[in-house]
C-alpha cells in the first residue's frame, strides 16, 4: 500500500487535476460556510445554494486561471506559491462581493431566485477556502517527503549544530532536498539564548552536553553537521574535541550565501579539513590600497611555480597590472600554473619563463627587457634535510640567487623588492634556515645605499605547501599508515597559503625599505595533536586504524621554531597582526664582504669536497647558527 501511495505521489500530476482538487475545496468550503451562516437565518434553500455556488465557483475558477495557482509543483510549494494563492482567493472574494452587489441593483428577479447573498458568508467561505488549499498542499508535501524519502532505512542519522538562520535554512534544505541521505536526530547550539527553544519540533540542546549517552538517546547519530556562518577555528576546534571521543564524523555545510542561492547539494556537505581547525582565527589582510598600489605596475615573481609563488601569481593576475612576469626553474610546475590561469582575463598581460635566479646573464637580460617595478622574490630551496645534505645548492639558490636578484633590482631602479623568508632563519639550526638568514642580511646590505625599497617577510609553515607535513600525512593515510613524526614534542607555527601571499602583498604596500615583517601566528601547533586530528577527520581511529610512529629528529631539525631571535623585539604597524622585527645586524660592511666572498666561492667550489668550508663561512656570517643533529655540529666547537 505504501509503495502504491509512493508511486502515485511521485507522478507529476496534470495541472487540471490540481485545479479540480482546488475547485472541490472551493465547493466544500462554500457548502460549509453557507450552512453555518444561513442555518440561523431562516433555513437552507438548496436551490438558492446551487445558484450561488455556481456563480462563486465561476469567479474562483477565473481567478485561479489568472494567477495560475495550479501550475506550481505541489510537493515543492513555498512562500511564493502561497502568496499567489492568497492573492487569487482575495481577488475572488472581492469579485464575488462586487458581482453580488451589481446583481442586487440590476437583477432583482435573480436575487429573489438566489436568496439574499451574505457578505459574511462570502468572507467565511474565502477563509475556509484559503485554509483548505494551504492545508492540502502542506499535507501533500509532507506525505511526499515522508513516503518518498522518510522511510529510507539507509539514511544517515545526524546531529545538526546551529540553531540560527544558517541552521534553520539547513534544516529546511535537508528536509526538502530530493535524494536526501540525511535524517536529523537532534539539534544543538552553543548560544545560551537558543538552548531550550525549538526548531520544527526539535528541542535545541547544549553542545556541551554532547557525549556517547546523548548520541545513544538521539537516534545513534553517526555524523555531526556544522551549519553556522561563524566558523572561527576555536569554535570548530571545541566542537571537534567534543565529537572526537564518541566518535562522530564532523562535517560542515557551505555558507549561507551559497545555500540561499541554491548552489548546494547534500553531496557538497564536506568533512572538516585541518585548515578549518587552524589554531587561531584566520587573519584578514585584505587592504583596498593593494589593488591601487599594483595598478599599472610591471611585477616580477621569482619561484612563481612554488607553493607561495603560484598563489601569489593567482592573486596578482586578477589585479590591474600592466604586466606580470613569472619565472621558475621547474618546467612542469610552471606549465601547470600557466595552463591553470590561461582563462584569466589578464592572462594576455602575463609572461611565463623558465629560468633560474642563479643565472646572472639570464636575470640581467630579463630585468633589462621587462624593467619590472615590483619584485616578489619567492624562489628558494626550503626542505631542511635535503639542504643539510646539499649546502652547495642551498647557498647558490638561497644566498646567491637572492643577492643577484637584489643587485639587479637596485641596478634597474625597481620600486620595491619583497623577499619571502622563513621562521627557520631565526637562531638557525640547519643550513636551509641559515642560508635564508644570510639572504636577509644580503638584502639589507643592498638596501642601505639603494633607491629601491627592500623588504623581507618572515613567517612559519604554510598549510598544504609542497612537501609540508599535511600532504605527507595524507599520503601516509592513503597507504594505511603509520603517520611518521620526528619527535612527540615537536611544534610548528602554521598559516594558510592565501594568508601568506596576502602578507607578502601587504608588506609591499606597507614597507618603506629595510624592514623585516613578522606575523602574529598565534600559538604553535603540536604536530602529534595535528596528526591525531587528521586521523579522526578522515574517519579513522588512533591507534586502532592508523598508528603514529616516532622516527627521531632529522638532521638540522628543531623541536620548537621561533619568529624572533634573541635580543630582537618588534614595533607595531597599522595592522595589529603584523609587526616589524628590530633585527640586530652588526657591521654591515663586513657582512657584505663576507657574503660576496661566499657567493664567489660557491660558484667555483666543489659541492662535496668544499662542503664544510662553505658552511663555515655561513656560520661566520650568522654566528647564532648552531647545527643540530648534523655533520656540521663539529664546526660549532
Q: Contact 460/561 with Cβ under 8 angstroms? A: yes
Q: Contact 375/415 with Cβ under 8 angstroms? A: no
Q: Which residues contact 2 (CB under 8 A, 6 or more apart)?
A: 147, 151
Q: Which residues of 1-22 are buried (b: 16+ CB within 10 A; e: fewer)?
A: eeeeebeebeeeeeeeebbebb
- Distance from the Cα of residue 423 to its chain's centroid: 26
The one catalytic residue in 424, 577, 611, 619 is 424
- Distance from the Cα of residue 32 to its chain's centroid: 56
DSSP H/E element including 187: strand 182-189
Q: Can you list the positions of beta strands (E) in 221-283?
A: 223-226, 249-252, 270-271
User: 568 to each of 30, 146, 206, 563, 564, how far by Cα in Å?
Assistant: 87, 67, 46, 10, 6
User: 345 to each of 295, 319, 320, how far by Cα in Å?
Assistant: 15, 10, 10
Question: Given the DSSP bridges, would you call strands 270-271 and 249-252 parallel, antiparallel or unpaired?
Answer: antiparallel
424 is catalytic: yes
- Residue that has been written with the C-alpha cell 643540530 in this structure: 628
Cell of 446: 643592498
CA-closest candidate to residue 485, choices 531, 536, 439: 531
* 460/513 Cα distance (integer angstroms): 22
Cell of 188: 544543538
User: 441 to each of 516, 573, 585, how far by Cα in Å?
Assistant: 10, 22, 7
* 510/501 Cα distance (integer angstroms): 14
Cell of 335: 606549465
* 204/213 Cα distance (integer angstroms): 17
DSSP 528-574: HHHHHHHHHHTT--TTTTS-EEE--PPTT--SS--SS-TT-EEEE-S
Would you please indicate which residues are annotated as catalytic (active-site) residues? 424
Amino acid at each position: 500500500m505504501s509503495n502504491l501511495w509512493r508511486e502515485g505521489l511521485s507522478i507529476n500530476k496534470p495541472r487540471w487535476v490540481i485545479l479540480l482538487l482546488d475547485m472541490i475545496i472551493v465547493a466544500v468550503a462554500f457548502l460549509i460556510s453557507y450552512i453555518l451562516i444561513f442555518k440561523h437565518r431562516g433555513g437552507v434553500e438548496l436551490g438558492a445554494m446551487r445558484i450561488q455556488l455556481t456563480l462563486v465557483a465561476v469567479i474562483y475558477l477565473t481567478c485561479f486561471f489568472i494567477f495560475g495557482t495550479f501550475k506550481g509543483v505541489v510537493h515543492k510549494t513555498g512562500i511564493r506559491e502561497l502568496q499567489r494563492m492568497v492573492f487569487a482567493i482575495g481577488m475572488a472574494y472581492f469579485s464575488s462581493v462586487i458581482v453580488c452587489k451589481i446583481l442586487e441593483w440590476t437583477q432583482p428577479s435573480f436575487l429573489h431566485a438566489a436568496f439574499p447573498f451574505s457578505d459574511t458568508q462570502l468572507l467565511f467561505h474565502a477563509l475556509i477556502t484559503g485554509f483548505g488549499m494551504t492545508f492540502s498542499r502542506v499535507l501533500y508535501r509532507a506525505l511526499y517527503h515522508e513516503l518518498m524519502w522518510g522511510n529510507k532505512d539507509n539514511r544517515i542519522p545526524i546531529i545538526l549544530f546551529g540553531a540560527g538562520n544558517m541552521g534553520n535554512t539547513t534544516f529546511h534544505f535537508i528536509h526538502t532536498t530530493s535524494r536526501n541521505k540525511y535524517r536529523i536526530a537532534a539539534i544543538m547550539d552553543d548560544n545560551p539564548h537558543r538552548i531550550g527553544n525549538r526548531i520544527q519540533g526539535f528541542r535545541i540542546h547544549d553542545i556541551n552536553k554532547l557525549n556517547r549517552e546523548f548520541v545513544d538517546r538521539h537516534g545513534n547519530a553517526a555524523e555531526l553537521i556544522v551549519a553556522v556562518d561563524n566558523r572561527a577555528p576555536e569554535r570548530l576546534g571545541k566542537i571537534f574535541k567534543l565529537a572526537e571521543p564518541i566518535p562522530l564524523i564532523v562535517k560542515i555545510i557551505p555558507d549561507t550565501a551559497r545555500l540561499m542561492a541554491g548552489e548546494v547539494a547534500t553531496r557538497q556537505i564536506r568533512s572538516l579539513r585541518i585548515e578549518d581547525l587552524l589554531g587561531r582565527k584566520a587573519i584578514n589582510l585584505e587592504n583596498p590600497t593593494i589593488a591601487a598600489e599594483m595598478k599599472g605596475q610591471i611585477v616580477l615573481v621569482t619561484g612563481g611555480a612554488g607553493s607561495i609563488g603560484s598563489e601569489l601569481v593567482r592573486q596578482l593576475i586578477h589585479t590591474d597590472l600592466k604586466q606580470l612576469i613569472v619565472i621558475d626553474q621547474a618546467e612542469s610546475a610552471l606549465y601547470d600554473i600557466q595552463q591553470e590561469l590561461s582563462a584569466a582575463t589578464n592572462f594576455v598581460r602575463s609572461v611565463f619563463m623558465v629560468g633560474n635566479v642563479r643565472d646572472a646573464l639570464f636575470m640581467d637580460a630579463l630585468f633589462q627587457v621587462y624593467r619590472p617595478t615590483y619584485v616578489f622574490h619567492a624562489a628558494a630551496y626550503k626542505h631542511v634535510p635535503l639542504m643539510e645534505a646539499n649546502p652547495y645548492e642551498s647557498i647558490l639558490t638561497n644566498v646567491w640567487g637572492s643577492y643577484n636578484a637584489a643587485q639587479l633590482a637596485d641596478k634597474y631602479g625597481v620600486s620595491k623588492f619583497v623577499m619571502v623568508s622563513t621562521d627557520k632563519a631565526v637562531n638557525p639550526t640547519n643550513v636551509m634556515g641559515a642560508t635564508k638568514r644570510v639572504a636577509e642580511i644580503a638584502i639589507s646590505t643592498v638596501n642601505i645605499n639603494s633607491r629601491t625599497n627592500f623588504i623581507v617577510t618572515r613567517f612559519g609553515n604554510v598549510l598544504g605547501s609542497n612537501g609540508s607535513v599535511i600532504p605527507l600525512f595524507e599520503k601516509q593515510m592513503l597507504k594505511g599508515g603509520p603517520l611518521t613524526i620526528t619527535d612527540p614534542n615537536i611544534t610548528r607555527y602554521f598559516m594558510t597559503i592565501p594568508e601568506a601571499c596576502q602578507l607578502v602583498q601587504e608588506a609591499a604596500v606597507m614597507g618603506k625599505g629595510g624592514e623585516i615583517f613578522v606575523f602574529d601566528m598565534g600559538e604553535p601547533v603540536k604536530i602529534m595533536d595535528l596528526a591525531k586530528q587528521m586521523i579522526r577527520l578522515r574517519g579513522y581511529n588512533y591507534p586502532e586504524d592508523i598508528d603514529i610512529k616516532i622516527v627521531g629528529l632529522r638532521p638540522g631539525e628543531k623541536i620548537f621554531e621561533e619568529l624572533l631571535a634573541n635580543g630582537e623585539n618588534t614595533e607595531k604597524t597599522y595592522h595589529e597582526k603584523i609587526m616589524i622585527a628590530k633585527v640586530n645586524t652588526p657591521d654591515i660592511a663586513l657582512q657584505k664582504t663576507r657574503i660576496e666572498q661566499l657567493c664567489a666561492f660557491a660558484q667555483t667550489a666543489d659541492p662535496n669536497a668544499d662542503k664544510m668550508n662553505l658552511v663555515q663561512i655561513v656560520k661566520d656570517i650568522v654566528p647564532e647558527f648552531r647545527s643540530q643533529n648534523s655533520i656540521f655540529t663539529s664546526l660549532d666547537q
